[in-house]
Amino acid sequence: MKTKWAFITFILAAFSMLTGCSSLMVLDPKGPQAQTQADVILISIWTMAFVILVVVVIFVYMILKYRASRQEEDYEPPYIEGSTLVELICVGIPVILVICLSVISVKSNYIVEQRPEGYENKEPLVIYASSSNWKWHFSYPEEGIETVNYLYIPTDRPLEFKLYSYGPITSFWIPQLGGQKYAMADMVTTLHLAADVPGEYMGRNANFSGKGFAENIFNVKAMSEDAFDKWVEKVKDTADPLTEEKFEQLLEPGHVGQYTFTGTHLAFRPAPEGEHGGHHHGSGDSGSKQMSEDTHSTH
């Protein structure tokens, strides 16, 4: 009796806790890329749940039907070589499921690596998103502004993020808009996203990068294009210019609040792409000259 009431109490407590849980952000998409990935996740979950259910049902059926208590005391099981049909079923069905899930996953990967569906004919908003210990810098080169630890974006417009890092490898991730992608020191990676629904979302670094990793987050606000344009104009009228000295201070390890500037650090600290890419980006003519002098001095 005590066991019965303990079990009932456990079930009620579990239901009470689950009803207070908010939905998973990755399963609450607010953009086409996130919707594609959420669909793939749900397909995988339901497929695995179906497999588990079938296996459990067959297992229960087998142990009940063929349990020892149902047989005669002198029963001896027959010698069986094997069953080709059973082996085909046991091997064939998992192979088919793996092939189906692989095709779905590969196809979805190609989709999310391109400009979002439905936005092919729209000009993307290019944002350079760079990380440092432990903060995020967002440069809007076309608008000529830069923010730290917060991101404003327009809805119904493709977003093209150029990701890189001023330190260890990080991972840029806005769960409700799309999957994560690495930001590295010596190259730029591109992430295509879009927001269909206005609102506030959470973004973060999803790759461990030291003691300040847990607070390496940023706020995202999606708004209409008109509201976004008004915000840009307000920043240009009220924000202070970003100087090289101020940017160097921001690169120092630590946590800071939210900042807004006119101008971007790309003017004096370009992203590691094109002629600035690779392990020697930023060396400029002085680096080449020094290398040439060192070469001549060895002869």
Domain harbouring 153, CATH code: 2.60.40.420
10-residue mean pLDDT series, the chain (299 residues) = 58 54 81 95 95 94 82 77 87 94 95 91 96 96 97 97 95 96 95 96 94 93 97 97 96 95 96 75 39 37
d(CA 136, CA 269): 15
Domain identity same for 107 and 218: no
Domain assignment present for 175: yes
d(CA 250, CA 131): 11
Q: What is the pLDDT of residue 287?
A: 38
Domain identity same for 137 and 235: yes
Domain identity same for 245 and 156: yes
Give CA separation, 298 vs 280, 283, 288, in Å: 21, 21, 16
Q: Which domain does 185 fall in, by range?
A: 125-273
Domain identity same for 90 and 209: no
d(CA 242, CA 235): 12
Domain assignment present for 5: no
Domain assignment present for 233: yes
Domain identity same for 149 and 105: no
Domain assignment present for 176: yes
Alpha helices in 26-140 (DSSP H): 32-65, 84-112
Domain identity same for 221 and 170: yes
Domain identity same for 132 and 94: no
Domain identity same for 89 and 158: no
Domain assignment present for 62: yes
Domain identity same for 107 and 145: no
Domain assignment present for 244: yes
DSSP string of 238-265?
HSEEPPHHHHHHHHSSS----EEEES-G
d(CA 205, CA 189): 15
Domain identity same for 60 and 129: no
Domain assignment present for 45: yes
Q: What is the pLDDT of residue 282?
A: 39
Q: What is the pLDDT of residue 280?
A: 45
The total domain count for the chain is 2
Domain identity same for 130 and 249: yes
pTM of this structure? 0.79
Q: What is the pLDDT of residue 71?
A: 72
Domain identity same for 100 and 218: no
Q: What is the pLDDT of residue 72?
A: 76
Domain assignment present for 155: yes
Helices 32-65 and 84-112: crossing angle in degrees, nearest 10, is 170
